[in-house]
Amino acid sequence: MSVKAVQGATDQQQVFRELVESSQDAILIKTLDGRITFWNAAAHRLYGYAPREAIGRHIGMLIPDGLQDEEADLLQRIGRGERIEHYETRRITSDGRSLDVDVTLWPIHTGDGGISGVCSITRDITERRRADAELAELHAQQRHVALALHLMGISQQVPGVLAASRYLPSTQGQGVGGDWLDVIDLGAGRVGVFVGDVMGRGLDAAVVMGQLRSAARALALAGLPPCELMKVLNVFTHGLPEQFVTCVYLEADPARGEVTACSAGHLPVLAVGPDATVERLPVPTGVPLGVGGVPYQHVRLPLRPGSALALYTDGLVETASSDLDAQLDLLADTLGTAFTLGEDMEAAADRVLRTLLPDSATYADDVTLLLISFPTTPLDTAEVTLSVEPASVATGRHFLRHHLRSWSLASLADTALLLASELLTNAVCHAQGPLTLRIWHSARELGVEVSDHSVPRPRARIAEASEENGRGLMLVEALADAWGTRATAVGKTVWFTLPRPRTDTEPSPGYPRRSELRRTVQEVLLPAPPVGTLPADASPC
């Protein structure tokens, strides 16, 4: 070899050495039995050992307790000629600190093809690991908050109604999204049912979902008809940033055997009949909330005793590899099978998830399912049409007293007659007729409703001590277990309920009823007007 060639090789070695020494990554060379033979400046900075302290020593000085076998395995793999890239492990510094590191190792070959040692490049990833852990914790907190927001919507069971719900957050991306469901006791034996889906996932979608659910529940409890409720929700959604929401709202009245439904771009509701036949409810789809420009419509449909309804979000039936109609048919078949076999609501919900989501670990969207069924036996009801005249108050009282006796509820007569008189008197004085007095009872309560043809709703007010009128609704508020108003197609309905008397063997609920709490508050805060039970033929205005 010429002098020039030798000089060139020497220069290349010098350049290589300078590159290695200037590297920001720790570079070392060790023998196959773990003895360190080279140690650059970055290794000094990372581990705290100067080259003279490290060279000649065993690599075990950098290995934490419990990882010695791991290091031995790595050396064996290198000895077989394997290259190992970006292996994440831990190392120990000279002062005892533990570092998370990323290590790349490759064999050093001799001229005859043998392996003489191992070259190792190590990068400190402790800060990256810490940042990753903090980010993971933040995501976990967001997921927890979002999931809590969703679970807040899963209300307690409404008496007289059987329901089973399932919610599965997405296993991909940010997980929990904007699905929600709600089952609401609307009073007077009616039940409100919501299922909705806010576009997107993560905390933002969950927060919007929580706002919409709260608004929807308040509007439902205020007695808005489904189409009006959806109209107000649409206006509410316009105030939210770039939101796209689908939902469906049902107002079920098992005593009347009907359900009123309104949809804002949501998937069809499935109805399971008492004979386990399944059909899609013919509800106009409407446009999603936030789109606007198209009025919402609701439809009133028959609800047979013993029927069940299935509401769900797109995560249950929409997948990239399947046809939507085929999945809806599969859902209907699965529900039919479950109810044919006589499965309860919980078992039916589990069957649906097993069938439609066989690989539940990889679903890409939130999945929400709500199954709800209604009593198999119709409630006892009775109603009478009355004219708008003072004598109708006495007629209504006589009608109510007769049915209370026939239903063995005479113990409720005094309170029920007093409150019914107040509602009928208000209707005679302020509303347009004809009037309808409707009464019903269940195992839980007695309900009384007065419907008229006037839109304005009555409002309770605090009467002055000297006034003879103006206390009717305050009496209803104080003595009824619950009361409210709702719009009808021709006017409004005002209703109240009274708790059915407990039998001697029936345990006390252990807490005061709502009417008892209200009476206590009324007695403390309001002057007590002289109130007496009206005679049967009285009809004051």
Per residue in 104-121, pLDDT (tens digit) is: 999 999 888 889 999 999
What pLDDT does residue 202 have?
Answer: 65
Q: What is the pTM of this model?
A: 0.66
CB atoms within 10 A of CB 348: 23
Confidence band for 534, pLDDT divided at 50, 70 and 90? very low
Let me know the angle formed at the C-alpha of 105 by 104 and 111, rounded to the nearest 5 degrees.
145
Torsion sign over Cα 187, 193, 196, 201: positive
The pLDDT assigned to 305 comes to 86
Helix or strand (DSSP H, E) at 489? none
The band of 525, judged by pLDDT with boundaries at 50, 70 and 90, is very low
Name which of 292-301, 302-311, 439-448, 505-514 the model is least confident about: 505-514
CB within 8 Å of 467: residues ≥ 6 apart: none
Q: Does pLDDT of 10 surpass 80?
A: no
* Predicted pLDDT of residue 539: 39
Q: Which CATH number fits domain 136-373: 3.60.40.10, 3.40.50.720, 1.10.10.1100, 3.20.20.70?
A: 3.60.40.10
Percent of the chain at pLDDT above 90?
Answer: 51
C-alpha dist (Å) from residue 386 to 69, 216, 391: 92, 34, 9
Region for residue 188 given its phi and psi (left: phi exceeds 0; alpha: psi -120 to 50; beta: otherwise): left
What are the helix (H) ranges across 82-175? 126-151
**What pLDDT does residue 538 have?**
41
Domain ranges for the chain: 3-124, 136-373, 380-525
Do 136-373 and 3-124 have the same topology in CATH? no
pLDDT at 476: 87
Residue 353 has pLDDT above 70, yes or no: yes
Q: Give bridge partners of residue 248 from the DSSP assignment.
A: 195, 263
Q: How many of the other CB atoms lie within 10 Å of CB of 403? A: 19
User: Cβ of 16: how many Cβ atoms within 10 Å?
Assistant: 10
**Number of neighbouring beta carbons within 10 Å of residue 112:** 5
Fold of the CATH domain 3-124:
Beta-Lactamase (3.30.450)
User: In 3D, which of 122, 123, 128, 90 has the Cα closest to residue 105?
Assistant: 122
What pLDDT, on the 0 to 100 scale, is given for residue 13? 61
C-alpha separations of 275 from 282, 302, 308, 341, 435 in Å: 19, 15, 11, 11, 37
Residue whose pair of structure tokens reads 């044919």 in the numeric block = 340
Mean pLDDT of the residues in the chain: 83
Helix, strand counts (H, E) of the chain: 13, 20
What pLDDT score was predicted for residue 416?
Answer: 94
CA distance 1 to 405: 123
- The CATH number that domain 380-525 falls under is 3.30.565.10
Question: Strand, coil or helix: what is 174?
Answer: coil
- DSSP secondary structure letter of residue 66: T
- 140-163 pLDDT per residue, tens: 666 666 555 555 555 556 777 889
Residue 5 above 70 pLDDT? no
Cβ-proximal residues to 502 (8 Å cutoff; 6+ apart), any chain: 508
Q: Which residue has the tokens 């299935």?
A: 310
pLDDT digits (tens, 9 = 90+) for 157-180: 677 788 998 888 775 555 566 788
Q: How far apart are CA 204 and CA 149, in angstroms?
A: 11
| 56-64: average pLDDT | 94
DSSP strands (E only) in 397-444:
435-441
CA atoms within 13 A on the CB side of 114: 6
pLDDT value at position 205? 75
CA nearest to 184, candidates 174, 175, 193? 193
Radius of gyration of the chain from its Cα atoms, rounded to whole angstroms: 37
Q: Please report the pLDDT score of residue 442 as a whole number.
A: 84
pLDDT tens digits, residue range 450-474?
999 988 777 665 655 555 555 677 8
